[in-house]
């Protein structure tokens, strides 16, 4: 797992998520619009992911608004970072996810030397796909029967990448 620094954007702060964030993150993940894409989370699942995946808490006006997972591939011949991000209801659609991604990409490029970044929303998650495209991610292809949705059925994912030139 990458050691994550505190990063500040224009309207948000990215800080390493901690045990203190578990309840707030679990509540945000339980919002119907988030749960539709992320599935069912409880405090224990949040805690487990924070222990296994490098995660920033997205903080806006002193409150946790979402998270940004960063899965770094350190192998020198295959350097890349894969992201997963969500922003809770009160701020969804306000560009906070895009801002968080831009801050993280900037840090991983400048400080860790990465040039390639991926993200993999569900094919049907048009809002997320538009947001990632606005950051500069491009469609690579469809990952068939990629993830199990909250309803138990398999759904396709869209692999998107951003390659810095």
Please give the model's pTM, rounded to 2 decimal places: 0.94
Six token digits for residue 63? 């409150």
Q: For the purposes of burial, counting CB atoms within 10 Å of the CB of 64, is it exposed (0-12), middle (13-18) or buried (19 or more)?
A: buried
Which pLDDT does position 106 carry in this prediction? Answer: 97
The reported pLDDT for the residue numbered 150 is 86
Answer whether residue 158 shows pLDDT above 70: yes
Percent of the chain with pLDDT over 90: 90
Rounded CA separation 133/136 (Å): 5
In this prediction, residue 83 carries a pLDDT of 98
Q: Which of 125, 127, 14, 141 is nearest to 67 (CA)?
A: 14
Domains parsed from the chain with CATH numbers:
7-163 (3.40.630.30)
The single-letter DSSP state of residue 4 is P
Q: Residues with Cβ < 8 Å from 56, sequence gap 6 or more?
A: 4, 7, 14, 15, 16, 17, 67, 68, 70, 100, 104
Phi and psi dihedrals of 20, rounded to 5?
-65, -20
Chain segment 115-125, per-residue pLDDT in tens:
999 999 999 99
- Residue 1 predicted with pLDDT over 70: no
Which stretches of 5-162 are DSSP H helices?
22-29, 32-38, 43-52, 96-112, 126-135
Range in 6-20, 42-56, 82-96 the model is least confident about: 82-96
Query: What integer pLDDT is reported at residue 151 of this predicted model?
Result: 87
- Would you tell me the crossing angle of helices 22-29 and 43-52 to the nearest 10 degrees? 110
């Amino acid at each position: 797992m990458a050691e994550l620094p505190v990063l500040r954007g224009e309207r948000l702060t990215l800080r390493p998520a901690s045990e203190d964030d578990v309840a707030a993150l679990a509540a945000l993940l339980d919002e119907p619009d988030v749960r539709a894409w992320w599935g069912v989370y409880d405090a224990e699942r949040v805690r487990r992911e924070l222990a296994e995946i490098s995660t920033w808490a997205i903080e806006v006006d002193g409150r946790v608004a979402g998270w940004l997972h960063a899965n770094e591939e350190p192998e020198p011949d295959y350097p890349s970072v894969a992201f997963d991000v969500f922003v809770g209801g009160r701020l969804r659609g306000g560009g906070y996810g895009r801002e968080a991604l831009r801050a993280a990409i900037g840090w991983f490029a400048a400080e860790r030397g990465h040039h390639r970044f991926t993200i993999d929303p569900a094919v049907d998650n048009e809002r997320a796909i538009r947001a990632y495209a606005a950051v500069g991610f491009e469609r690579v292809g469809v990952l068939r029967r990629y993830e199990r949705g909250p309803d138990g059925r398999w759904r396709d994912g869209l692999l998107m990448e951003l390659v810095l030139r």
